Amino acid sequence: MPESAARAAARRAASVGPTLAAGALAHVGPAATWLPVVRRHLSPRLAGAGHPRHVALTFDDGPDPVSTTRFLDVLDGLGVRATFFVLGDAVVRHPDVVRETARRGHEVAVHGWSHDRPWLPAPARDVRSLRRAVEAVRDVTGVAPQWYRPPYGILTSGRWAAARAAGLRPVLWTAWGRDWTATATPESVRATVEADLRGGGTVLLHDTDRTAAPGCWRATLGALPDLVAAWRTAGLTVGPLSEHGTAEVHATAPRVLGRSGAVPRRPLEHGRSRRG
């Protein structure tokens, strides 16, 4: 290559590099909201902050014909309704589970079409796959979903735009149970939730092990009765996102969760096991 041509190619490469970097940053930049401290301060609504005397209970990754129905039964016994963020490819495989979830009064929301990580920009694909998931939920339940939580909580600019185009409101979480690990137990799930939960918070749990350690959902199932009992003892109501409100948790909100802000522990009855 002649020297002048080589220099021209180098100049073009130098100009393209920053452009690509800027494009990549614009794509993944919003995903910084995965960090709790970022979304708490910059977007409490995205974090799931609601009425200070309410806890929004949510589950991801279903539907699962083995485990989801077990959660529905336990929630029935507790008198609690929740929001289930479902994957579209599982909705079309297990429509009866989704239909039963809605029949029992729970809210069905969208977790995407599949559980993938969107590191490369694909705005057209994001729009198509999210719209497809919305249509799957609507076809099965007869109700258009309102909420969207991206897999892994990775909310790229493309997924922001796709959610907006589909008429969905993105919402992440304020507390989770780390219930996807092989070492999760009912005790660990409860302790992890309690560490970050305040009144007005949104709790992320999982009703399936589809994208997690086999059988880990049993730890979550075993933790639910004590979690719900503790919230109620603290004067909080529990329900789906549709009942959560959109108000931020104000500094003047009553501190009903104890000195550290965590839900107070309720001692186990003698001989009672927490394992599901």
List, for residues 115-155, the tens digit of each pLDDT value. Answer: 887 666 678 889 999 999 999 999 999 999 999 999 999 88
Q: Mean per-residue pLDDT for 78-83?
A: 98
| Domain range for 87 | 32-243
CB 199 within 8 A of CB 53: yes
Question: Does any domain span residue 23?
Answer: no
Question: Does any domain span residue 160?
Answer: yes
Question: Does any domain span residue 61?
Answer: yes
CATH of the domain at 182: 3.20.20.370
Q: Number of folded domains in the chain?
A: 1
Question: Does any domain span residue 225?
Answer: yes
**Active site members:** 60, 206
Distance (Å, whole) CA 122 – CA 162: 10
Of 210, 212, 227, residue with least CA distance to 276: 227
pTM of the model: 0.78
Report for 19-28, 45-54, 98-107, 265-274: range of highest mean pLDDT: 98-107
Q: Is the peptide bond before 44 cis (omega within 30 degrees of 0)?
A: no
Given a cut of 80, is residue 58 above it in pLDDT? yes
Helices (H), 197-268: 217-233
Of 179, 173, 230, residue with least CA distance to 200: 173
Question: Does any domain span residue 262?
Answer: no
> What mean pLDDT value characterizes the chain?
80
Question: Does any domain span residue 55?
Answer: yes
Question: Does any domain span residue 6?
Answer: no
CB 97 within 8 A of CB 136: no
Question: Does any domain span residue 145?
Answer: yes
